[in-house]
Structure 1
Amino acid sequence: MAVREINFDGIVGPSHNYAGLSLGNLASASNAGEVSYPRAAALQGLGKMRHNMALGLAQGFLLPLPRPNDPFLAAIAADGSEDRRLMAAAWSASSMWTANAATVSPAADTADRRCHLTAANLVTMPHRSQEWGDTARQLRTAFADPAHFAVHDAVPPCFGDEGAANHMRMAAAHDAPGLELFVYGKGGGAYPARQHEQASRAVARLHRLDPARTLFIEQNPEAIAAGAFHNDVVAVANERVLFIHEQAFADPAATYSAIRAALPEAEIVVVPADAVSLSDAIRSYLFNAQLLTLPSGEMGLVIPLEAWEHPRVHGWLDAMLASNGPIRRVLPVDVRQSMANGGGPACLRLRVVADPATVDPRFMLDDAKASRIEQVIAAHWPEAIAPGQIGDPALAGIVVAARAALLDAVDLAELA
């Protein structure tokens, strides 16, 4: 099998808006009430996918979920008198951030040698807690081959699980047995700790991982309080490399020692706080980046333009590139509409290590399909959504019709 890493990016949905629903996500909160631009957001996302395909990387996509979520509105007996945030939750396009769709363990790590995916329950935030059922249905369509994949329902919602945003994997190569890192938070701080330790442990058991090659790591409470609501705001890993902020973990020294003991070839690139503060890292989303192995074998870091334009972050990146470190290229991309809602390049993708031939081909992207999707977005996605339009029946009809046109264009009408 030609096993490789495939990044599945979320297509930004036609109801993309800035309702500020995500407590602890500073970008989301600071832009609450602004006018959003769904068409531009979706085209920016496709632009990032094209950028990565041009690098020679395998690229897939996941579809927006049905919005407005009428079953959710019915379950809360919505009649117009409810808190406006509940209506906004039913319209949320947050499934675009597929790093929260699931936790993924490649076949090389699991006891039955299948790739396991567990849908994330996202229970901490009402607008996201609605997602997992539709997400699991989509994952079971994309990864339907039982000889190669096992897709699990979400763990019980008494344990909060945020998916791959709090999970990393390190290995000598993508197809080699890996070390899986589950990062959890503890409650009691200024913002909720979204990933519970017991959720991480449940996922590891579901995936039948080797306990000797599985680490459970506490996120630094200071990072959560500063706005690192997910681990992927302060750390990212790829193959043997961990790229991380100095203040990401509660006990960094012990964690690095455990990583090196389990994976002797590990290279840990630590960005010191006196060079890039937590505030700088969170504002720029330096670590919410895609750390990728390019076809040449060198590693590249796909970062948002905001990181490249940040003077201290840019200065540190220049120094890193001038050194003889493992990250040899920095590749800025424009995802400003996603960034304004608190999601950078890493939020927009779910990493799956598998043979692309085992994936339903309708979810794999090529240039022709990207062009077809872009044509649908240009024709059907709203150009702008103002906060007062959320809940408008006419706009709801446009949003529903836009998603239906996309499903038809990619031959996935069964997900309607």
Structure 2
Amino acid sequence: MAQLDLREKLEILADAAKYDASCASSGTSKRKSSGGKGLGSTEGMGICHAYAPDGRCISLLKILLTNSCVFDCHYCINRKSSNVRRARFTAQEVVRLTLDFYRRNYIEGLFLSSGIIRSPDYTMEQIVEVARSLREDHDFRGYIHLKTIPDADPGLIHQAGLHADRLSINVELPTVAGLARLAPEKSAPRIEGAMGDLKREIEDSGDARKRYRSAPKFAPAGQSTQMIVGADAATDRDIVGRAAGLYGRFGLRRVYYSAFSPIPDASAVLPLQRPPLIREHRLYQSDWLMRFYDYSPGEVADAADTATGMMPLDIDPKLAWALKHRDSFPVDVNTAPRQALLRVPGLGVKAVDRILVSRRWRRMTLADVARLTVSVKKLKPFLITSDWRPTLLADRADLRPLVAPPAKQMELFAA
């Protein structure tokens, strides 16, 4: 095999990393540089853009250490039997790339994952060495997210957490049956065991830092995971339940959803087409309902179709839930509690908080509410204001098409 230069490796391994969606830097804090000499803080190969909760766009160098792998997972383009061009970085090549991109102000951090080479421990050692060298040899103060390997030695995972802001372990597929069928070399109990170990280390570190300010930080931005949507028979109701369980048991910061994408020389057990991209979007919306809108997992799952277990594609899950629960509406914007206002389609968390402040000083009209949201059309059947009451609108049998998004908006997702 011909020797590849650094740019060729970057082209191959940045492209191979695009299938990993769990790449965001929310939840971390800026690192201070000792003595003011540290490196610190964006387009090119391997650069991805993630968004923090406050809206900041954060650029990361997103690459694999290698796309070679000893595993043969059916859904993975980098599986052992896949006919793809292979490449591998050394640890110092990743360090060099990260520093070069950082100095040019292209990126604010690194997201590093890898296929498994030789053994889980050997691969994890190389990943840890990248983070160690950046922090200790080069005083790198940028963000680091490492994808960890469940089967690796716990001591290596511990070292990774001391250098990285966030660690993640992919559960891969929503169901244990799906994982056993499509990735028989991987074990759901081992994956969840590793996630439980991470949770305990993160909690122990937090407790230690409350008592001793000098105690080392361990993955201060927490842990996340990713699951592939559409590669197996899991319904949206299954996926929502699985995500809720992961949040509750392992204290995850994020669950990421990645729509299955057909790959070259695909296994015969995989679907021939990818699921609609809008399905992935609806799952993220469902996730936000649990995380920010005080919906229980059961309420979110209730938005899915009773027969198929799938979220409707033409409307968002919040609107789907509202249409199923007409008896909960309309809600009086001037008297309703926060939880009831959060269930009004079209009202976001910031809009609800502003309503709660504003109504202390005046009775709110429909025009007042309209100024806090993108469109008042979706709101009108579900809301009462001082000058508006949807007397007959909320009971109309044809309400759904009246509040559904325009067809052109749906076409954007279909494309």
Query: Whose strand fraction is larger, Structure 1's or Structure 2's?
Result: 1
- Which structure has the larger Rg? 2
Highest RCO, 1 vs 2 (Cα 8 Å, sep ≥ 6): 1
Task: Report TM bin, short chain.
Answer: under 0.3
So what's the TM-score if we normalise by structure 2? Answer: 0.28
